[in-house]
Amino acid sequence: MPQSVTIKWIYATGLLIILILSLSWSYRAIGQQAITELADQSQNRLTLFVSNLTATLDKYEHLPKLISTNYRLSKLLQQPGSEVLNETNRYLKAVATTSGASDVYLMNQKGTTLASSNWDLDHSFIGMNFNFRPYFQQALKGNTGRYFALGTTSHQRGYYFSYPILSQQSVIGVVVVKIRLAEIETAWADQGNHFVVTDDDGIVFLSTQAEWTYHSLRPIDKTRMARIEDSRRYLGKSIRPLQMEQLDKLEQDVTRISFASNTQSRPDQFLHLSQKIADAGWTVHLFANLAPLRDIQILRTSVAGFAMLILLLLIVLYLTNRQRRMALQGSTELLEKRVQQRTLELQNEVEERKKAEQSLIDTQAELIQAAKLAGLGQMSAGIGHELNQPLTALRNYAENAQRFLERNQLDEVKGNLQEINEITDGMAGIISQLRGFTRKSSGERSQVSVSQAVAQALGMFQRDIESRSIELNTQVSPELSIQTDPLLLNQVLVNLLSNAIHAMVEVGEPRIDIEASSDAEVVVLRVSDSGPGLADDVIENVFDPFFTTKELGMGLGLGLSISYRIMEILGGRIEAANIDSGGASFRLYLANE
Ligand code: ADP
């Protein structure tokens, strides 16, 4: 695996671990936060519930005292069975209907009901005795009574308010207002929160969770239980404790609890808050279910996790982009630097090439000159001979002319002087050719007659041609002329002729053919000989500098390479071949201008 990939994996694993740790921390923090929120909300709901309950109770608290002031009640108590009974019954019914109380009734001092709002119903209280009820006893003592109990006839939970009816400082009866509590349960029933009201023994008598009713929130000892049974508050219902387990205490009056359950493997957990209602001796409890909290916790953690993931992705994206940008920038800079460097190198190369070209041109010019001088050296012996012969002839003609003058043979003198004249012309020709040969080319072009150029070159080898009886066959039209550098063309021709003559040293019938042909664009000048021709390995290298088959000191191997370069300079070319009869043949292609 490449190193960069391994590093990426390490980064990815690191990020994943950070993500998991952050999520578990968030999960816990969110849980705590949610519990605190729930505790606050529950506290508010509990306060609301308590004030609602208190308000309901308060509404009826003073009602018995108010009723007790009605004259009918005392009259009935003092004269039971009198005609005021009906009036009293109706009055009590009117009070119950108007106030919303369940029942309103009047008891004599023995606890027997004399009049009641339900006098006309099946479960009428009239004639029934409730002297065992604590509220009756409280009122009999001259106090206001309050009591919760199950109705003996209705078996419904009721709350009783009682007040004594006095006559001359003594209690002659008790008036009772009973209210039903079941409405409170339905009004406050809620999925997540369970309200529970317990009496001073911790027994649940009101609960939005029906199955909890008549259970105790704390264990009850035997004596207490006996007392409860005596009061017949719960009409002999068996009171069992709820299996409530406190898990931890979060705040004052706020605990986390769970109920042991046989059906659920994992019992529901609740937040438990409680508040006392001192007047009634009740405690109101609120159990807030923690199960939905887990859903909220999971949801919020998922949202947080999602947000973290997006944030992480954005960070990773940003970093990768930055890295890529930096890499791109780096490579662009590198590229720019390389381009600059290469440009500089190319400029240097161009400069060097120019210099090399210039030095090549200079060297070639030097070589051409050197070759000319070398050729001159070779020719010097022949030229010496060339000039010696006319000089000897000149001396002879001059001596003869002198003798003829002495004899006064003027015609012969004239003839000899004529000869001398011609000989000096010839010598001047040779010398002028030599001068031309050693001069460097000026590079200037002029209209040159091809036949004259050929004749001039041949003139330099006149002595060899004659002495070795070389047959010359020249077929060049005298009209043919081209625009060229005459000195350079001469140098090429001289070189070709020199090579041809040299190649034919041992040939029986030496012969040189020079022919010119032309079309609209090109003039081809062919110089061929009857020598041995060019061997295969020679023909391949014949234009290479310093290639020679001649003995040491006889040739430098530069003639044809220089001729090749000259032809390029002149805008033409040179080719080497063998003719059918065996000799070598060189073609010069020149632009027909
Ligand atoms: P050099 O004459 O100094 O050797 P050149 O470049 O003029 O240099 O000629 C190179 C070689 O080409 C000669 O040495 C010779 O072998 C061959 N060569 C040139 N012209 C002829 C020719 N007409 N016939 C045969 N060989 C030739």
How far apart are alpha carbons 209 and 196 in whole angstroms? 8
Which amino acid residue places its CA nearest to atom 14 of ligand 1? 548
pLDDT digit string (tens) for 354-371? Answer: 998 888 777 767 766 666
pLDDT at 309: 83
Distance 476 CA to ligand 1 centre (A): 24
Handedness of CA 367, 369, 371, 374 (dihedral sign): negative
pLDDT at 442: 61
What distance in angstroms lies between residue 448's CA and the mean position of ligand 1's atoms? 27
Q: Is the CB of 512 under 6 A from ligand 1?
A: no
Tell me how far the alpha carbon of residue 450 lies from the centroid of ligand 1, in angstroms.
Answer: 23
How far CA 173 is from CA of 115, 189, 306, in Å, comes to 11, 39, 73
User: Which pLDDT tens digit goes with each residue over 525-573?
Assistant: 999 999 999 999 999 999 987 788 887 657 777 789 889 989 998 999 9
Instruction: Provide the token pair at 88.
Output: 């009293």
CB within 8 A of 166, min separation 6: which ones?
A: 68, 142, 172
Residue 542 Cα to ligand 1 midpoint, Å, equals 7
89-143 pLDDT tens trace: 999 999 999 988 999 999 999 999 999 999 999 889 999 998 888 899 999 998 8
561: left (phi over 0), alpha (psi -120 to 50) or beta: alpha
494 lines ligand 1 (CB under 6 A): no
Residue 2, pLDDT score: 61
pTM of the model: 0.48
- Residue 229: count other Cβ atoms within 10 Å of its Cβ: 15
Query: Fold match between 63-179 and 182-291?
Result: yes
Going from the Cα of 499 to the center of ligand 1, the distance in angstroms, rounded, reads 5
- If you measure from the C-alpha of residue 548 to the centroid of ligand 1, how many angstroms do you get, rounded to a whole number? 6
Measured from the CB, is residue 534 less than 6 Å from ligand 1?
Answer: yes
Looking at domain 63-179, its CATH architecture is 2-Layer Sandwich (3.30)
Instruction: Give the tens place of pLDDT for each residue, 3-61.
Output: 667 887 888 888 888 888 888 898 888 888 888 888 888 899 889 888 888 888 888 88
Res 153 pLDDT > 90: no
| Cα–Cα distance measured from residue 462 to residue 488, given in angstroms and rounded to the nearest whole number | 20
pLDDT level of residue 578 (50, 70, 90 thresholds): very high
> What does DSSP assign to residue 293?
H
Mean pLDDT over the full length of the chain: 85
pLDDT of residue 497 exceeding 90: yes
| pLDDT tens-digit map of 522-532 | 999 999 999 99
Domain coordinates in residue numbering, the chain:
63-179, 182-291, 440-591
Contacts (Cβ under 8 Å, ≥6 apart) of 83: none
Residue 55: other Cβ atoms inside 10 A:
9
pLDDT at 450 over 90: yes
Closest approach atom of ligand 1 to CA 561 = 6
Cβ–ligand 1 distance for 510 under 6 Å, the answer no
Residue 276: strand, helix, or coil: strand
User: Domain 440-591 sits in which CATH superfamily?
Assistant: Histidine kinase-like ATPase, C-terminal domain (3.30.565.10)
Q: At what angle do helices 3-61 and 291-406 cross, to 10 degrees?
A: 150
Is pLDDT above 70 for 266? no
Distance 556 CA to ligand 1 centre (A): 10
The residue with tokens 């063998």 is 578
**Structure-model confidence comparison of residues 243 and 568, the more confident one:** 568
Q: Are 544 and 534 in contact (CB under 8 A)?
A: no
- As a whole number of angstroms, the distance between CA 223 and CA 230 comes to 11
| Residue whose CA lies nearest to ligand 1 atom number 7 | 559
Strand partners, 215: 240
Per residue in 402-435, pLDDT (tens digit) is 999 999 988 989 988 998 888 887 777 666 555 5
What pLDDT does residue 201 have?
A: 86
| pLDDT tops 90 at residue 176 | yes
Confidence of residue 345 (pLDDT cuts 50, 70, 90): very high
pLDDT of residue 434: 55
Q: How many CB atoms lie within 10 A of CB 559?
A: 25
Selection from 135, 279, 275 nearest residue 197 by Cα: 275
* Residue 378 pLDDT: 54
What is the spatial distance between Cα 162 and Cα 179, in angstroms, rounded to a whole number? 12
* Residue position matching structure tokens 């960070």: 315
Main-chain phi, psi angles of 220, to 5 degrees: -115, 130
Percent of the chain past pLDDT 70, that is, above it, reads 91
In 3D space, the residue among 418, 412, 502, 516 whose CA is nearest the CA of residue 464 turns out to be 502
Task: Identify the CATH class of 182-291.
Answer: alpha beta
| Residues 6+ positions from 471 with CB-CB distance below 8 Å | 509, 510, 511, 512
The verdict on the CB of residue 538 being under 6 Å from ligand 1 is yes
Predicted local confidence at residue 240, as pLDDT: 85
CA distance 65 to 77: 16
Q: What is the pLDDT of residue 525?
A: 97
Distance 310 CA to ligand 1 centre (A): 87
Q: Which atom of ligand 1 is nearest to the CA of 555?
A: 3
Q: Indicate if the pLDDT at residue 495 is higher than 80.
A: yes
Alpha-helical regions (H) of 62-202: 63-68, 71-78, 84-99, 134-140, 182-188
- pLDDT score for 477: 94
Q: What is the pLDDT at residue 292? A: 80
Q: What is the C-alpha separation between 33 and 26, in angstroms, rounded? A: 10
How far is residue 293 CA from its own chain's centroid? 40
Q: Residue 289 — very low, low, confident or very high, per pLDDT cuts 50/70/90?
A: confident
Residues 6+ apart with CB under 8 A from 182: 156, 157
Strands of 511-518's sheet in order across: 471-475, 511-518, 522-529, 584-591, 573-578
Residue of higher predicted confidence among 294 and 196: 196
- Which residues, 6 or more positions from 229, have their beta carbon under 8 angstroms from its beta carbon? 236
H-type alpha helices, 407-439: 410-438
d(CA 163, CA 144): 5
* Residue at token pair 């008036």: 175
Tens-digit pLDDT profile for residues 177-231: 999 887 777 777 776 788 889 988 888 888 888 888 888 988 888 888 888 887 7
The proportion of the chain whose per-residue pLDDT surpasses 90, expressed as a percent, equals 34
Question: Is any ligand 1 atom within 6 A of the Cβ of residue 547?
Answer: yes
The residues facing 173 across adjacent strands are: 108, 165
d(CA 168, CA 196) in angstroms, rounded, equals: 43
Confirm or reject: Cβ of 531 under 6 Å from ligand 1.
Answer: yes
- Over the stretch 369-382, which tens digit does the pLDDT of each residue have? 666 666 556 555 55
Angle in degrees, 0-180, between the axes of helices 291-406 and 410-438, rounded to the nearest 10 = 170
